[in-house]
Amino acid sequence: MNELTIDAPTGVPQVTMRREVDAPRELVFRAFTEPDLLKQWLGPRRLTMKIDRFEARDGGRWRYLHREEDGTEYGFHGVFHGDPTPDQMVQTFEFEGAPGHVSLDSARLEERDGRTTIHMNSVFQSVEARDAMVASGMADGVREGFEQLDELLGRLATVG
Amino acid sequence: MPVTQRERSLDEVFGALADPTRRAILVRLTHGEATVNELARPFTISQPAVSRHLKVLEQAGLISRSRRATARLSRLEPEPLRDALTWLVSHREFWEESYERLDELLAALQDEPDAPTTDTDGRSTS
């Protein structure tokens, strides 16, 4: 029920994600826009999140780092477009390891019966960039190919 | 940062994998080396077209090519594929784990709606 749905349609430089949470949307909105809350959930547990700046307003900048235990850091930054609201949070997103690959991310929170569905949408500059940065493996058609390859690679690995 | 180079080659790998014919060629190569002729056989496309696909796969590092007499042999190079698959899995894992943590945070906040929203993991921000 709280399953994460990721959709990366073939031929379109876009990824959509959907996830339901058991909380009213005002609270979810705070978790998305207050840095002290954001760093408590965004990213895998093994990574430490450090927020350089997070100005959740029209034209505000954000930058954060995810740090591995071995000290390796991954930096991300972007700019907010429009004052974020539960109906619309729009920002650019750039991974500092792949400069120039900027995506336009928007999120929308939809509440029903005290539960909230989080809708996220990322648009990349090309299908290739989308596939490289995100989940082409989830896309129709591509997925089958990957499952097939995955299986066969597993077999190869056991052969040596 | 080494990540940059890795991202760039992942771009190429994913670009190469974006085509169903190229994926089919890779699956065929998991059974062993093959000539262009052998690879073209199951498809309704010309040998030169298959050669173009092989060139893309070679540039992405997914196959290597050698000569046997007059024939060119293609061979699967599985490492970049493993990287790409690991990466795909880790993207989904990134979000799945993030949302699990969000569930926990939201539950904690609802238990104590007036509690101050201070950092609970003891890590500092700048």
Q: What is the CATH number of the domain that holds B7?
A: 1.10.10.10
Which chain B residues touch A155 with a CB distance below 8 Å? 30
Query: Is the distance from CB of A61 to CB of A53 less than 8 angstroms?
Result: yes
Percent of chain B at pLDDT exceeding 70: 73
Other Cβ atoms less than 10 A from the Cβ of A121: the count is 17
- Residue B124: the pLDDT is 42
CB neighbour burial string for B56-79, b if at least 16 within 10 angstroms, e if fewer: bbeebbbbeeeeeeeeebbebbbe
Q: How far apart are CA A144 and CA A98, in angstroms?
A: 27
Q: Is residue B106 part of a domain?
A: no
What is the CATH classification number for the domain harbouring A12?
A: 3.30.530.20
- Residue (of A99, A35, A111) closest to B1 by Cα position: A99
Mean pLDDT, rounded, of chain B: 78
Tell me how many degrees the CA angle A121-A86-A25 measures, rounded to the nearest 5: 105
For residue B115, tell me if it sits in a domain: no
Q: A127 or A63, which is more confident?
A: A63
Query: In a mutagenesis test of the B interface, which of A64, A65, A152, A156 is the best target, namely the one with the most B β-carbons within 10 Å?
Result: A152
pLDDT at B9: 67
Owning domain of residue B12: 3-77
Contacts (Cβ under 8 Å, ≥6 apart) of B126: A50, A51, A52
Does B16 reside within a domain? yes
Q: List pLDDT tens digits, range B3-36.
A: 445 555 667 887 787 777 888 888 788 778 999 9
Q: Whose CA is closest to A95, among A139, A126, A63?
A: A63
Residue B121 lies in a domain: no
In three-state secondary structure terms, B106 is: helix
Residue A160 included in any domain: no
Please write the tens of the pLDDT for every residue from A40-93: 999 888 889 999 999 999 999 999 998 888 888 888 999 999 999 999 999 999
Nearest to B18 among A39, A99, A127 (CB): A127
Range of the domain at A128: 5-155
Q: Domain total for chain A? A: 1
